[in-house]
Structure 1
Amino acid sequence: MKKLVFAIITLLIIASCINTPKDYVKLTGKLENNKDSIIHIISRMGILKTIEIQKDGSFKDTLKIDKADIYTFQTSNSKRAPLYLKNGFDITITGNADEFMKSFEYSGIGASNSKFIIAQINENIALGNPAEIFNLDETNFNKKIASIKKKFDSILNSYNDLDSSLIVLAKNQNSQMFNYFKQNYARNQKMGRGKPSPKFYDYIDYKGGKKSLDSFKGRYVYIDIWATWCGPCIQQIPYLKELEKEYHKKNIEFVSISTDESRRSGGSWEAAEKKWRDFVKKKSLNGVQLWSGKDISFQKEYQISGIPRFILIDPQGNIIDANAPRPSDPRLKTLLNSLKI
């Protein structure tokens, strides 16, 4: 009888150990063709864990996390992959370091969550250029959105063991994506290709006088909305100069509109204008250099919330692209050449 009781107690202890969830994550795996020495597991707040990679590309470690969430598995700035982690997960990752996320295979407890995220990313990539969707007529746009929704719902429904937090996150992200499509489609009906462009009037010209959008009627107009304090704007200047040089004899005007204003110039509009003029002179900026001053109506019409912003308008004053590629983007030359300017 004592032996039986002892055996039952032993079985209960073993069962308890098996069913008790671990309060940490276990990560193992191997990266073929690996040349890096460490893996960073990165949260929204920064590096959470550093894992050493062995010479044969294998790795093994554990970590505790504060909350179930999407983390980044990274060996370098160019080699990153999403990883959904929750304490109790035991995940194995294998793949080719030369084809980082593309080649990854996830297995083990909790691995389906990361597989789902990868499937979502791949479907997002497959959507292509959203501008092509926004240019559809209303009937085809609605059909396209319904088709996209069906695909994303299918991906979600194909995994029956996802973490509840990830399901909520995925549904929220999908909802945001479809709201983005609907809102931008409505905007595109007003600001889409072929629609009359909003106009600006009497902007101060660096070379003297004032210019309005109608001043360039009969020519294509590539507009750069920028400011002297904007780092990303300044980064585009060398590319814009090259573009102006290449298309110098073409039927196109390159118009840069500075949005420098008083708040960043000690409360003085005069100082803002001087800052713009000094910058244009110092950098030897080409093309048509304008300053919008206090008039922000053009920016409001185009709903510009961040700069730089580039706009391409045809000789009749109609919009070609309300959010045109940057000068550094090869797609811009492709677009300009397609117009046979």
Structure 2
Amino acid sequence: MKKLIYLVAIALVIVSCKQEVPKDYLTFSGTITNQNSDSLIIAQRNIIKTIKVDANGVFSDTLKVEPGNYIFFDGKERASIFLKNGYDLKISLDAKQFDETLKYEGVGSEANNYLAKKRTLQEKLIDYEALMNMSKTDFDNKMASNSKEFKTLLMSVKNLDSIFIDSQEKDLEGLNKQFTSMFDEKQKLIALTGQVSPEFSDYENNAGGNTSLDDLKGKYVYIDMWATWCGPCKAEIPHLKKVEKAYHGKNIEFVSISIDRKNAYDAWKKMIVDEELGGIQLWAKEDNAFADDYLVTGIPRFILVSPEGKIVNADAPRPSSEKLTELFNALNI
């Protein structure tokens, strides 16, 4: 009898030990309604794994990861996801209402449902244009208010991994620093208003010869700083065409300055033809002085210069923004 009890005790210990061994991989499965693709991509800096999705939107796979933040991409939409070995995540999603319907179940669901709610909260709280046009006091107050709401959301979620909490706090700190830097840069650009515009000279004109900013005095000049490799720049092209057409023959010139490298020169020439680009198309010849003077750290950047050669707006509204038409109307262009 004692021997039997001893053997049972050993068996229980063995079973207990087996149960305590954590999985060295995670399981990711779910169902996607109205799917955008036949696969999901899990990525960080590079693609980690491509997961097949069947015709009914069902998928299931395993992968090994370092704990941290990743992106999953369904061919059209993307979302942040926190992954850690040992997780058993199940998602349900209607791709036509991606943010509104994304839900997680299973081990690791708490962190990822938080990320889905965080994304919705970001869309509600963060209006980039409104933020950038606030006074310094209002900006600081708004950032403090936003931080409080994000922290409240984070603290309201139970059973979060300490690594995850730490990463989210760092993300929030980084986001605040990023917006503060952008706001400070915007204030510097606003301070340029009314000053004599920096010059560019002898930029190659696709129509022939060279063109300088001084050649365009007497009219307003709406400048588009762009490059052939820039997706957001190319997204503005249809809108820019519409604006050019609406203001054709009026007291304004539309100038697009390519800051492409020399090795993209042929691509620049080709895109002008393929996209039927209008206005004055210039190539900066790798001269960064004009862009540097305007503190251009990202493109597209739009600039409006007066007929007298003074800065009207060093960070003018994009062609896709209704505020551009409002600005032109206010100036009686």
Q: When the two structures are superposed, what TM-score results if normalisation uses the length of structure 1?
A: 0.76
Q: Does 1:309 align with 2:308?
A: no
> Which residue matches 2:253?
253
1:304 alignment partner AA = V
CA shift at 1:279, angstroms? Answer: 9.1
Higher mean alpha-carbon deviation, 282-291 vs 174-183, is at 282-291
**Gapped runs of 5+ residues in structure 2?**
none
Change (3 A) 1:92 1:254: same
Aligned to 2:185: 187
Cα shift at 1:246: 1.9
Paired residue type of 1:250? K
Deviation at 1:177, TM superposition (A): 1.3
Question: Which residue of 316, 319, 324 maps to 2:317?
Answer: 324
- Asked whether 1:71 is paired with 2:70, we answer yes
* Whole-Å separation in 2 of the counterparts to 1:28 and 1:282: 43
Listed one character per residue, the Cα deviations across residues 195-238 of structure 1 (whole Å, up to 9, x for unaligned) are 33561336237577864469546x543112246x6565677656
Partner of 2:31: 30
Alignment of structure 1 residues 171-320 onto 2, 5 Å: 171-192=169-190, 195-196=193-194, 199-201=197-199, 203-204=201-202, 206=205, 211-212=212-213, 215-216=216-217, 219-226=219-226, 240-259=240-259, 264=263, 286-289=278-281, 296-313=288-305, 317-320=310-313
8 A contact 1:256–1:287 mirrored in 2: yes
1:36-185 superposed matches below 5 A: 38-44=38-44, 45-46=46-47, 48-53=49-54, 55=56, 57-59=57-59, 61-74=60-73, 76-185=74-183
Given that 2:42 and 2:71 are in contact with CA atoms closer than 8 Å, whether structure 1 keeps it comes out as yes
Distance in 1 (CA, whole Å) between partners of 2:187 and 2:134 is: 10
SS of structure 2 residue aligned to 1:249: coil
Partner residue, 1:9:
10
Of the structure 1 ranges 33-42 and 126-135, higher mean CA displacement relative to structure 2 is found in: 33-42
Query: Which shifted more, 139-148 or 247-256?
Result: 247-256
**Aligned residue number for residue 269 of structure 1:** none
Question: Which blocks of at least 5 consecutive residues in structure 1 are unaligned?
Answer: 266-271
% identical equivalent positions: 30
CA distance change for structure 1 residues 54 and 221 in 2, over 3 Å: closer, same or farther?
A: closer
Alpha-carbon contact 2:200-2:212 (below 8 Å) kept:
yes
Aligned residues, how many?
325
Instruction: State whether residues 68 and 164 of structure 2, in contact with CA within 8 Å, keep that contact through their aligned partners in structure 1.
Output: yes
Distance 2:253 2:72 in 1: 46
Q: Which amino acid aligns with 1:71?
A: Y
Distance in 1 between the 2:10 and 2:54 partners? 42
The Cα RMSD (Å) is: 3.9
Given residue 66 of structure 2, which amino acid in structure 1 is its aligned partner?
A: K
For 2:305 and 2:202, the matched residues in 1 are separated by: 20
Q: TM-score, normalised by structure 2?
A: 0.78
